[in-house]
Amino acid sequence: MKIKPQILALLLITSMINQPLAQNPDSLNADPPDVRVGYFDTHPLSFRNSNGDPDGLIIDLLNEVAATGNMKIQWVYDEFPNHINNIKSGRIDVLVSVAYSEERARYMDYSALNFTNVWGQVFLPANSDIESLFDLNNKSIALLENGINGQNFLQQCELFEVNCQAVYANSYHKIFTMVDNGEVDAAVSNNMVGAEFQDQYDLLASSIVFNPFKVYITKPLGADPVFLNLYDQRMRLWKDDPESFYYQTRMKWTHQNQHDTIPYWILYTILGLFVFALIAIIAAVLFKRQVNRRVNELSQREIQLNQIINIVPHMIYANDYQGRFILANDFACDFFGIENKQVEKENIYAILKSSPNFQNLIAYTTSSNPFNTEIEARNSRGEQISLMMSKVPYSGRNDKEPAVVTVGVDISQTKQYEEEIEYLANHDALTGLPNRLLLSDRLKSSLARAEQFKHVGAILYIDLDNFKNINDSQGHKVGDKLIKKVAIMLKKSATPGDTIARLGGDEFVIEIPELDQDINKAEQQALLVAEKLSTQLKKPIIIEDKQYNITASIGVVVYPRDGNRQSLLIQRADTAMYEAKFNGRNRIQVFEKGLEAKVKKQHQLENDLRLALQNKEIVMVYQPIVAADSLKMVGTEILLRWHHPVRGTIMPTDFIPIAESAQLILEIGYWTIEKACQQILTWRETTDQPFFVAINLSVIQFRDREFLGRITDLVNKYNIPRNYLEFEVTESILLNESVRSMEVINQLKMLGIKLSIDDFGTGYSSFDYIRKLPLDKIKIDKSFIEDIPSDNNSVTIVKTILNMAHEMNLQVVAEGVENKEQMEFLREHQCQFFQGYLFSKPKEVNKIPKKFRF
């Protein structure tokens, strides 16, 4: 009986798989042999996961191979360059994820089958302007030490005479970290590894790809081939079965189809060859037609002409002076609603008169003069079309009969594009509101009418308060949606005839063109609109099931009282808005003459403040905090003073709001915290007594996404012990940032930083909410301390705060203690700490009174 080849092969494979078992039945009871397999981080092929265990595509495959062969794998993790030395010295039996090269084949044996295909690719920072290999000339490129991709890349550079500076690292993580830190201009890896780091470091996968290659497993040259043979056997079986463990595992790790993905450059090459072949075929057909046309030139000329004019997507027709058609292309026939085969039997004049759709064409078509003009017309179906019509006379049939040729170019799409471009040029792309350009044009018209007809109008300059914090913390997607919703709210609140414009960012302008001719009444009308807008904007805004609350600062000008030029009015409305924002935000401010000088002064201070830290004009002063029982200093609060070279000493109440508005508070705040850490180290060298240093936090610092990270770095850098550093925050920060408060406070407590509520009692505290926070202290505001014990109201408030704090196990610091009567009252009611002029004014560190020094 003849055995089929397929059956014979299956039996042979089965016997090969079962042969070890048949040779030694006792081996079933023996311990499985260990195979030392080296792996390194090349996600998703192989890597060490968050638990420190080996993971990845080839890891899963080899674990399965080992299980089927009754073998035990001992996984050995190291950097790739080190593994090259390991396999040379025989410290490992197998190395995974290796590309073939002749140089490596001198000391490694490769598996017969690969487990995946990859190619080399260049990865760039997201803001890089590199587009091709030639742009990499004189650029620094991060490469993996001993990596095939780097070798192939440098060969490409040499081939095209591109001079690159290679920077080597021993892991892909270090390569991409260098790109992220700006230490190099680009990195080279295989496409799979690069894809894993692309999102993590916000990188750009460039179009520079090269040298596809297969990925194998290897063993030391001449070493025992048992494991590689077993791997090849399993891979052959797996690759023949689309539902096998191999394809399922590959799908799991690479999300690819069962068959290898063809690189894009190969697809583009095939597409290019196809297009080239198509062009070649078209060229051959045209050449053949040209030969045929020359053979029978007279008979084919008309056909050729008809083909050409029908290809043109415009109206082309010719008629004699009696209106009889000589020719008409498909566009013209479709436009007039006539059959192409019957063209020469039709009369253009009769057609034009037959339908009202063609009325606009009659004057031009019947005219004997040449023309070139744009008209709006309707075709036989009544569809509106914009045409650029041209008509010129020529010699018609037999070069004797006068005729005219008319060409109508369809410019409908061009007109539509022009309208869209004009709209985009004059409107904000995000909200669809008029932009600065259109606002300026409308303001000029309104001012001209106001001068001519003695109208009175107003301009409202609107700036959203703290929008930047939402945009930075929640992302630009949420920020854009919020801006859109604000635009809708402004439209609903405005009246017909008003111009609502977005100047950019979170700034809007509303122009109200016609108000009462009495200036004072006009101002009141404008304020009513502003108050309506302010109320509307305070309503909660829901975006993606999350509630956001915003307010607005609004500046108001009335024209012509406050100016008769649009640029001046916008400037003054901006000045009024800035004053509203400076005075606490969520306000409406009418422009006044004195504001310009005030705002100019504030702007000057802002400019000076930008240089104050650099010029060492901002200094720290320390006010002792003493224990009630011993009256010895146990801590201090850091305050700031600005020694302005012209204006003298400026207090924090005057320059901190400017720093917050100018986005300088973060720089000043982190500078202060670092100086405090340095001072803690200095005092710890002079005393063994425990103490604390308290620092005020701004709401902007509290919202900063880098806040926890930077504080953690400072605490670790200066090795600050627990309870030596204390942050003071206001009640408003805790209540307005309630969700973030709990998260931040818990993290700070883990760092050993104490937290206290500053100016307690001046806000609108929720005792129930504060009770849930892991706070350490309450600082009673000095406004309550200054009137005790003589004022009954202040006494009641202070007693209540102290009793509440004792119930909540919170320590209490009384601020503004200036006389012994206050101190004794507070002592009697168990206040633990005092701070005030009775003990010391805030002084620079070397001027603190000796009895309060550590």
In this structure, the strands spanning 402-410 and 456-464 are: unpaired
**Dihedrals φ, ψ of 312, to 5°?**
-65, 125
Which residues lie below 8 Å from residue 80, measured CB to CB, with a gap of 6+? 40, 42, 144, 145, 146, 147, 170, 171
Which residues lie below 8 Å from residue 629, measured CB to CB, with a gap of 6+? none
The closest alpha carbon to 133, from 163, 172, 167, belongs to: 163
| Predicted pLDDT at 143 | 92
| Predicted pLDDT at 736 | 56
Which residues lie below 8 Å from residue 221, measured CB to CB, with a gap of 6+? 106, 107, 108, 109
3-state secondary structure of 392: strand
| Predicted pLDDT at 371 | 67
Nearest-angstrom CA–CA distance, 429 and 207 = 30
- Where the chain has pLDDT below 70, the residues are 1-32, 255-289, 291-300, 360, 362-371, 395-401, 732-741, 761-770
**3-state helix/strand/coil string of 539-575:** CCEEECCEEECCCEEEEEEEECCCCCCHHHHHHHHHH
In this structure, the strands spanning 833-835 and 618-627 are: antiparallel
Chain Cα centroid distance, residue 550: 22
The closest alpha carbon to 729, from 777, 667, 769, belongs to: 777
3-state secondary structure of 15: helix
Which residues lie below 8 Å from residue 239, measured CB to CB, with a gap of 6+? 113, 246
Query: What CATH number should be reported for the domain whose range is 307-415?
Result: 3.30.450.20
Nearest-angstrom CA–CA distance, 250 and 58 = 9
**Dihedrals φ, ψ of 408, to 5°?**
-120, 110
Query: H helices within 514-651, ranges in order?
Result: 519-537, 566-582, 593-612
**Dihedrals φ, ψ of 100, to 5°?**
-80, 140
Instruction: Judge whether 489 and 481 are in contact, CB under 8 Å.
Output: no
Nearest-angstrom CA–CA distance, 775 and 48 = 40
Nearest-angstrom CA–CA distance, 299 and 287 = 18
Core vs surface per residue 56-70: b (16+ CB within 10 A) or e: bbbbbbbebbbeebe
**Dihedrals φ, ψ of 616, to 5°?**
60, 40
**3-state helix/strand/coil string of 345-366:** HCEHHHHHHHCHHHHHHHHHHH
Chain Cα centroid distance, residue 837: 50
Q: Kindly write down the DSSP assignment for every residue of 802-814, as one continuous string.
A: HHHHHHTT-EEEE
Q: Is 111 left (phi over 0), alpha (psi -120 to 50) or beta?
A: beta
Instruction: Judge whether 144 and 189 are in contact, CB under 8 Å.
Output: yes
**Domain 430-591 - what CATH class?**
alpha beta
Give the domain ranges of the chain.
Answer: 262-295, 307-415, 430-591, 609-852
Task: Select 609-852's CATH number: 3.30.365.10, 3.40.50.620, 3.20.20.450, 3.40.50.300.
Answer: 3.20.20.450
Which residues lie below 8 Å from residue 443, measured CB to CB, with a gap of 6+? 459, 499, 511, 566, 569, 570
| Predicted pLDDT at 508 | 95
Core vs surface per residue 310-344: b (16+ CB within 10 A) or e: beeebbbbbbbeebbbbbbbbbbbebbebeeeebe
| Residue 49, both tokens | 């996961």
* 231 CB-contact burial (10 Å; exposed 0-12 / middle 13-18 / buried 19+): buried
